Amino acid sequence: MELREPIERLIRNPQEFTRNVSFPDPAELRLYDETLRDGEQMPGVCYTPAQKLEIAKALAEIGVHIMSVGFPAASEGDRRTLQLVMEAKRRGELGDAEIVVMCRSNRKDIDVTIATLKEVGIEPSAVTFFIFSSGSDLHLKYKIGKTLLRFEGRDESEWLDLPLEFYRNANVRLQCDAIKHARECGVERIEFGAEDGSRGDVDYFISYFKAGLEAGGTRPAWPDTVGCLTPEAMRWYGTRIVGALPKGIPIVAHLHNDYGLGTINAVTATSCGFKVISVTANGYGERAGNVKLHEYVVAMRVLYGVEIPGFKYEKLRQLARFMERMSGVPMQQHEPIVGRGVFAHESGIHTHGVLIDRRIYEAVPSELVGGHTTFIFGKHSGVALVEDTLRKSADLLQAAGIDVTPELAHAVTEEIKRLREERAVSSASVETIEAHEAAMRRLSISEDDVAQIAIALRGNAVAVSP
């Protein structure tokens, strides 16, 4: 149906309420995808190096600007992934995507990563090194305290007695030493940050960032490691950090989704002046995951009017299905924007409205994200949709000697409702869930498996010992 009035007269545009929110120039915003690193840390998810390369190509194709490809010092798989990705980038298969590798604040991690690159003829200057440490006092003293003691040449017996200030200062020195070492080895782009920023002291983080920049770091990263930020807290931290660092410097917001606030915190961080937003495809990641790529980019465009240049919004649902197949982890049917059912309608009240104009019940433009409106028939179906569907098949029905009438539509609707309730009695839904859970258990390695591996290895060792 063609509407007689402009749509702006009939419904309020959400941007009426957001147009005064200021953001950096969209051309300066960078989507920083961590699907290959943080996304793979989701329990039960594991990718081979070859699969990671395919994912990297899909991410580059949709338009992410930066991608983290893993932690080379941690595994042979991540070292091989780095090589495959950089070789693909050299062949022009990843466009202008910036590649990031992760290293702890120690020289060994940096040296291993550089050696991995040089094995395939890649210079350290071609890759961004993310050198990280810890930031909250809880982490500094109780997680990496002994590491800091060793770095400072102190005895571990002093661990619990030394004041927090010692660990704060030692951590800055540790970070700066690693940054300077990377610079001396030919690394030109150094991202640096410290875990648990959202539970740390903001003044400490500011001094930590300034010291890192002075040592040769190029991009600070501030994390909400455990996803406990509220938008109010994000704004409190964000305005202080952005205001204290050199004007125009890109700062990373790395946020998690433990309370389901990842997207709004990412939007808030952007409005504070953070120009680099960390995301993952489908929001995969540890615990409740990371900021969801699809939610962030579409919310920014539709609700705030900020379009990321060059990003292919229409490929979001295609990317979601691809990532489901790669990970083995399906998205919920009603996942915003990319869920299989978010543009599907069953309720008679809704289908009647959508048949008039889909905007009556759809706020996300389906064509923007590569979707389309569909109808599902079931217990809540209305006569209007059934009759409309029958009329689309009028030729087929007439060939069978059947005319489409309101009476027929009512009869078919009642039969649809009866059939759907009959099928609901079956155990198909339970069996489907159980089959998926069993498949994930077969892929995972349990605590019992760990013990059996130890027994098997010990048995082999005994068998081959002289």
The predicted-structure confidence for 282-295, as pLDDT tens digits, reads as follows: 999 999 999 999 99
Residues 6+ apart with CB under 8 A from 371: 317, 342, 343
Mean pLDDT of 308-334: 96
Between the alpha carbon of residue 362 and those of residues 19, 132, 335, 354, 379, the distances in Å are: 21, 43, 14, 8, 21
* Residue at token pair 């690193």: 37
Give residue 189's pLDDT band: very low, low, confident or very high (50, 70, 90). Answer: very high
pLDDT of the residue at 461: 65
pLDDT of the residue at 155: 97
Across the strands, what pairs with 31? 277
Give residue 466's pLDDT band: very low, low, confident or very high (50, 70, 90). Answer: very low
Phi-psi region of 97 (alpha: psi -120 to 50; beta: other; left: phi over 0): beta
Give residue 239's pLDDT band: very low, low, confident or very high (50, 70, 90). Answer: very high
Give residue 76's pLDDT band: very low, low, confident or very high (50, 70, 90). Answer: very high
Q: Answer whether 275's CB lies under 8 Å from 306's CB.
A: no
Question: CB atoms < 10 A from the CB of 9, how many?
Answer: 9
Six token digits for residue 215: 């040592």
90-102 pLDDT tens trace: 999 999 999 999 9
Residues 6+ apart with CB under 8 A from 454: none
pLDDT of the residue at 223: 98
16-71 pLDDT tens trace: 999 999 999 999 999 999 999 999 999 889 999 999 999 999 999 999 999 999 99
Single pTM value for the model: 0.92
Buried b / exposed e along 155-192 (16+ C-beta atoms within 10 A)? eeeeeeebeeebbbebbbebbbebbebbbeeebebbbb
pLDDT of the residue at 62: 98
137-156 pLDDT tens trace: 999 999 999 999 999 999 99
Q: Answer whether 144's CB lies under 8 Å from 215's CB.
A: no
What is the rounded CA–CA span in Å between residue 62 and residue 311?
6
pLDDT of the residue at 462: 54
What is the rounded CA–CA span in Å between residue 311 and residue 308?
6
Say if residue 387's pLDDT is above 50: yes
For residue 336, give the DSSP letter.
T
Residues 6+ apart with CB under 8 A from 224: 197, 198, 234, 253, 254, 255, 256, 265
* Residue at token pair 């995969």: 284
Domain with CATH 3.20.20.70 in the chain: 13-317
Classify domain 13-317 by CATH architecture.
Alpha-Beta Barrel (3.20)
